[in-house]
Each structure stands twice: as structure tokens, then as C-alpha cells.
Amino acid sequence: MAAAVAIFTGAVFTGCGSGDGGVICTGNEVSADNGPAAPKEAVAWLKFADREVPLYEYTGAVIPALEGKNTNLAVTKDAIYGIRSDAEEKNYRLQKLTLKDGAIASVEDLGIVLNEPISSDGKNIYYLTREDELACYNGKAATLTPTPGIGVVRAIYGGKNAYTSGSFVSDADVMFGATSKDGIKDAKTVLSKDVFDKLARAKDATHEANAFLIGADADGFYVSSLATYGSTDKEWTKPLHTYAPDGKILHTFECNENIPSSAQKRTTWERSVVVTKDYVVFYSDGYLRAFNKKTGAYVGDIELGRDSRKLSPTGVTTDDENHIYFIDDNSHIYRIDL
């Protein structure tokens, strides 16, 4: 694995340029207001803490049935990306939903991909086309790069850096580096795979399995896991660990812990959490539950629905603000602004 990481360090994100004036995937900084525009009208206003927040639905061109369990949406200023299953060909294909004035203007098929997480830095989209091969798509063309041992890439939205890991955090170190056309500059380990490998092997209450790099932003990176407490008798939980950029652990969140006695106990699933600019947000059928990202304090729940129908978010993503994008019922895409 060490050799694999070494190869990755010098190879990944080699750019989308041809050297002859073509465009290049560089991960350059983009403006602060770099997310896609919201639809013109909210379809509902939902109570969140002491205020109401808007729920929008992206409509226009017909949305193909999108996957949301093993993968997620990704956004840029002018598009939403997702993965659909092609049952006839028995593969998965990346879809680009181009936006204009907050509506879906067109849908483009970008080719075969793995049903794995996709990521955005606000300009470029990163995804796996096959095992150990990463694509960088800049909105016009994709460059493919061998990435042995790397299963997850989490680019920082609006930034110049990315975090990577194996398919699980226990498979390969969490690495951090600057993206450029020449690869990851000064890539370094910020969290050893041994941390979660040890927890996965534990036979006592410290046991945690399935550690997964769920996201990253300018404040650090985020790992979800499954805590079994070494027991089949105690209810298992799905903690979210937040880390500073240097790998120092900051907080551990669990959906049903550190909440008021009046708050409802919620059913949770693995990896069903997203980290926005200010919040750690757990989600499942019909709800969002938000905690303050920096203090760990419970903020509030949102009963997630419209027209008396409960929404079930999958494929959840964010930009570098408190905007959450998600799929409901495979072919509906919503946005909620916290």
C-alpha cells in the first residue's frame, strides 16, 4: 500500500490539458458564490430551529433515474452531476445536468463509471472510471490518471486541495495535497490507516468498522464509521468524526446523542451524514438533524417533506455554503438552504 500511495503522489490530477492550449484541470480557486443557482421559487418552507428555510426542486429536462446509495451528487456553478444505472448494459454512467437560471436545461451522458463517490472542487469533477483509474472532468473533457490503492477522492469545493483514502480509511492513509496539472504537490499522510485498522480489529467496546472518508472542506475532513461496541446486544451507532487539516480529531457526532430530551430518537443509516459550512447534518427518511460543526451543539431537526409527502434523501452533497442537494425517489433533485 505504501508503494501505491507513492505512485499516487506523483500521478494523480495530472490535468485536463493537452499541452497545446487545451483546457486544464487545475483545481484553481473559484469565487465565493460558486454554487449552482437555486430554482426561482421554493416548493416549501420548512421549520429549522427558530426560523424557516426554503426547499427547492430542480425541474426542466427529464432527470434520469439516479443512484444515491454508494455514490452522491456533485455540483459546480453550472451543473449537477450524478450516476445512473444502465440495467441493459449492466454498468453505471455519469450524467451531467446542465443548469440555466436554476432549471435543468439539458442532460448529457459522460460515459461509464464505477458506482462510487464523485467529488467537485467547484470547477472540476473527480470520479472513478474503473478500479485504480481516476477521471478529472473540467466541464468539457476528462483526463484519466492511474491511482493504485486510491478508492475515494474528496476535493475541497472552491479550493486547490484534496483528501484521498482507500475504499475504507483502514485500507490506505488519508492523504492531503494540492491539486495541479502536475499532480499532487507535497502530498502527505494526515491520518494513518492504522488508526481505524486497529479499531476494526478491536474485540471490545472500542470496535468501529467501515470507516469511510465521507467528505472534506477548508476546515478539514470527515470520517463516518459503524460503532458496534463489541456487542450484538447494544444498539450500534454511526458516528461522524471531524478532523482538522493536520489530522487532529476535533469532535465525534452521533445522531441520537447530546440532544434535548424533547428531541425524537431517529433511525440512522451508515454514511447518512453530510458536513456543510456550519453544520454536521444527519439524514434519513423524512428528516434532517443538524449540529453545530465547531461546537458540537445540537441545532435542530427539519421534518423533510412537501405536499404531505415525506422525502427520503440519498446521494446527498453540498457546496462550500449551507446548501444541501439530494435525490428523492431516484428522479427528483432537491436543494435545501440552511
The tens digit of pLDDT for each residue in 91-110 reads 999 999 999 999 999 999 99
Q: To which H or E segment does residue 11 belong?
A: helix 2-11
Q: Quote the mean pLDDT of the chain.
A: 88
Q: What is the pLDDT of residues 178-187, one digit of tens each?
A: 765 544 567 8
- Answer whether residue 3 shows pLDDT above 90: no
- Among 8-22, 28-42, 186-200, 301-315, the minimum mean pLDDT is found in 8-22
End-to-end CA distance of the chain: give it in Å, rounded.
Answer: 40
Q: What confidence score (pLDDT) does residue 83 get?
A: 98
150-177 pLDDT per residue, tens:
899 999 999 999 999 999 999 999 999 8
Q: Which residues pair with 298 in a beta bridge?
A: 291
Nearest to residue 95, comparing CAs of 103, 87, 85?
85
pLDDT for 185 equals: 64
CA separation for the pair 258, 58 (Å, rounded): 34
Percent of the chain, pLDDT > 90?
77
pTM of the shown model = 0.89
Residue 138: DSSP 8-state:
-
| Confidence (pLDDT) at 148 | 81
Is 325's pLDDT higher than 90? yes
Contact of 80 with 94, CB cutoff 8 Å: no
Mean pLDDT, to the nearest integer, of 218-241? 93
Helix/strand/coil percentages in the chain, nearest 5: 5, 45, 50
Q: How are beta strands 273-275 and 249-253 bridged, if at all?
A: unpaired
Highest mean pLDDT of the ranges 88-97, 227-236, 293-302: 293-302
